[in-house]
């Protein structure tokens, strides 16, 4: 099988490398945050970042092309250059607004989300409504030209930093549970919103409980129509699952695992020289490559207007499973260092093997966030393979 992409893509790779040679790294002494922001603006202008977002909303606006996207990612990684920002706003809300938002919502929110000026959090899960999301109870009542929101959300990543939340609420209490929801945008900086941090086992504090006690948002800050929140939330969830299960993310992790196996020593020699470690790496690489080529196939089908079906549904489950295998082998390689806890609050964050401790613990969360692996198996069985629905279905 010849997987060479041919001369057109070789020329594109040279074009990206040339851009990087001219724009990165910044001049010595430049402020790192400002330099990264300025670089991103140039890279968007050149069509290398936010390629699926129209230029009028601050994107690079390019035709979908998974091979070009991969070349950009590889070349940017090689140069150590800033890539697209991540997080609920960029990876989940922006594609949702593009697909279902009003024009004013796109104009007002997308450019500042892409530039990092606006941070978002996702208000879906509640105590008692995670996998069975449609049973959520936080309610919104229209009073004049404002929604008044009362209830509680939990596991809200970044709520302590977010300017806004995209929130799923019950607006039609008498409708069947999936038809009674609406999808609202909410300003977090107001008296009716209280954020309480939750401490994770890594020691970090990325999650929060969010209490909504008469929080208010304008009537037109609704995405889609009243009662159609479930359908809108499916659009967001698809992008969340694609982001979590992205093959690019898995490949990055695997590359770091290979580096780790080269750098740590077992019995006085680099771990990678041992046959059992090489075999374990080769086994994982098989899964990584299978996910990579499946993602190419899914992308090609989407580009051709076809529904990727089973391949699309497999992404998140595969990403979580492979991430877990990578973390397990990393744990074996770092040995006793796996018992250390990354110190909190240190400038520059975790160092060396401490990053792997975060990764190992975090891999458990990846199998839950955006719908647990059990729920993904249900989705694959029922929606992709057409098997009968199980008892008590989740999201
Ligand atoms: C890292 C991380 C980040 C998160 N960030 C956010 C966020 O920003 N915003 C937000 O709203 N939420 C967030 N969440 C919450 C996440 O969406 C929920 O944890 C997830 O949907 C599972 O819900 P739950 O925790 O209530 O577990 P439950 O739904 O109570 O599930 C418990 C267990 O039962 C299993 N189970 C439940 N129902 C079924 C079924 N029908 N069939 C088979 N097994 C089933 C599940 O697989 C799981 O193992 C985050 C979670 C994590 C781990």
Does residue 252 come out as left (phi exceeding 0), alpha (psi in the -120 to 50 range) or beta?
alpha
Look at strands 207-218 and 146-153 and give their pairing: antiparallel
Indicate the top mutation candidate among 92, 131, 363 to test ligand 1's pocket, ranked by most ligand atoms within 8 A of CB: 131
How close is the Cα of 395 to the center of ligand 1, in Å? 9
Which pair of tokens denotes residue 99?
Answer: 């697909």
pTM listed for this prediction? 0.92
How close is the Cα of 122 to the center of ligand 1, in Å? 14
User: What is the pLDDT, as a whole number, of residue 262?
Assistant: 97
Catalytic residues: 240
Domains detected in the chain: 7-84 (no CATH), 102-228 (2.40.110.10), 245-384 (1.20.140.10)
How close is the Cα of 133 to the center of ligand 1, in Å? 9
The CA distance from 354 to 334, in Å, is: 10
User: What is the pLDDT, as a whole number, of residue 308?
Assistant: 82
E strand residue ranges, 63-180: 120-123, 139-143, 146-153, 164-170
Decide: 152 in ligand 1 pocket, CB within 6 A: no
Decide: 365 in ligand 1 pocket, CB within 6 A: yes
Are the C-beta atoms of residues 100 and 235 closer than 8 Å to each other?
A: yes
Q: Which protein residue has the closest C-alpha to ligand 1 atom 23?
A: 130
Return the bridge partners of 142, or none: 147
Q: Which protein residue has the closest C-alpha to ligand 1 atom 35?
A: 374
Return the bridge partners of 326, or none: none
E strand residue ranges, 154-267: 164-170, 181-187, 193-198, 207-218, 222-223, 265-266
Q: Which protein residue has the closest C-alpha to ligand 1 atom 26?
A: 130
Radius of gyration from C-alpha coordinates of the chain = 22
How close is the Cα of 32 to the center of ligand 1, in Å? 36
Q: Is the dihedral angle over the CA atoms 41, 46, 48, 50 positive or is it negative? A: positive
User: What is the pLDDT, as a whole number, of residue 213?
Assistant: 98
The CA distance from 34 to 345, in Å, is: 23
Decide: 89 in ligand 1 pocket, CB within 6 A: no
How close is the Cα of 77 to the center of ligand 1, in Å? 32
Indicate the top mutation candidate among 236, 369, 379 to test ligand 1's pocket, ranked by most ligand atoms within 8 A of CB: 369
User: What is the pLDDT, as a whole number, of residue 280?
Assistant: 98
By the 10 Å C-beta count (0-12 exposed, 13-18 middle, 19+ buried), 288 is classed as buried
User: What is the pLDDT, as a whole number, of residue 347?
Assistant: 63
Look at strands 164-170 and 120-123 and give their pairing: parallel
- DSSP-assigned letter for residue 343: P
Decide: 394 in ligand 1 pocket, CB within 6 A: yes
How close is the Cα of 335 to the center of ligand 1, in Å? 30
Decide: 358 in ligand 1 pocket, CB within 6 A: no
- DSSP-assigned letter for residue 129: B
Are the C-beta atoms of residues 96 and 230 closer than 8 Å to each other?
A: no
Return the residue matching tokens 């792997």. Answer: 356
The CA distance from 38 to 160, in Å, is: 26
- CA of 125, closest atom in ligand 1: 11
Residue ranges of the chain with pLDDT lower than 70? 1-3, 342-349, 391-395
The CA distance from 113 to 51, in Å, is: 15
Decide: 378 in ligand 1 pocket, CB within 6 A: yes
User: What is the pLDDT, as a whole number, of residue 102?
Assistant: 98
Query: Residue 270: which H helix or E strand, with range?
Result: strand 269-270
């Amino acid at each position: 099988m010849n997987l060479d992409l041919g001369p057109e893509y070789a020329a594109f790779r040279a074009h990206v490398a040339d851009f990087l040679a001219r724009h990165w790294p910044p001049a010595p002494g430049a402020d790192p945050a400002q330099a990264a922001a300025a670089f991103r603006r140039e890279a968007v202008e050149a069509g290398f970042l936010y390629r699926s977002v129209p230029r009028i909303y601050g994107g690079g606006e390019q035709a979908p092309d998974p091979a070009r996207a991969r070349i950009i990612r590889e070349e940017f990684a090689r140069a150590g250059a800033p890539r697209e920002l991540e997080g609920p706003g960029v990876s989940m809300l922006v594609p949702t607004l593009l697909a279902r938002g009003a024009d004013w919502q796109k104009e007002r929110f997308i450019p500042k989300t892409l530039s990092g000026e606006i941070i978002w959090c996702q208000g879906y899960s509640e105590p008692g409504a995670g996998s069975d999301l449609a049973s959520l109870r936080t309610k919104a009542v229209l009073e004049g030209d404002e929604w008044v929101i009362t209830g509680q959300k939990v596991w809200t990543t970044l709520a302590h930093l977010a300017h806004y939340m995209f929130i799923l609420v019950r607006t039609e209490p008498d409708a069947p549970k999936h038809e009674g929801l609406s999808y609202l945008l909410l300003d977090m900086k107001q008296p009716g919103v209280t954020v309480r941090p939750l401490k994770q086992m890594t020691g970090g504090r990325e999650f929060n409980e969010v209490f909504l006690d008469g929080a208010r948002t304008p009537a037109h800050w609704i995405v889609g129509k009243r009662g159609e929140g479930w359908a809108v939330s499916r659009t967001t969830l698809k992008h969340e699952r694609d982001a979590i299960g992205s093959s690019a993310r898995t490949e990055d992790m695997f590359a770091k695992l290979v580096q780790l196996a080269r750098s740590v020593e077992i019995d006085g020699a680099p771990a990678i020289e041992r046959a059992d470690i090489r075999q374990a790496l080769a086994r994982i690489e098989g899964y990584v490559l299978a996910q990579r080529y499946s993602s190419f196939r899914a992308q090609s089908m989407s580009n051709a207007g076809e529904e990727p079906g089973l391949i699309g549904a497999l992404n998140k489950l595969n990403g979580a499973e492979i991430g877990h295998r990578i973390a397990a082998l990393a744990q074996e390689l770092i040995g006793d260092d796996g018992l250390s806890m990354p110190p909190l609050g240190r400038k520059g964050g975790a160092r060396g093997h401490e990053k792997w401790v975060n990764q190992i613990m975090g891999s458990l969360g990846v199998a839950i966030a955006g719908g647990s692996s059990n729920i993904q198996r249900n989705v694959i069985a029922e929606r992709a393979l057409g098997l009968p629905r199980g008892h008590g279905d989740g999201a």
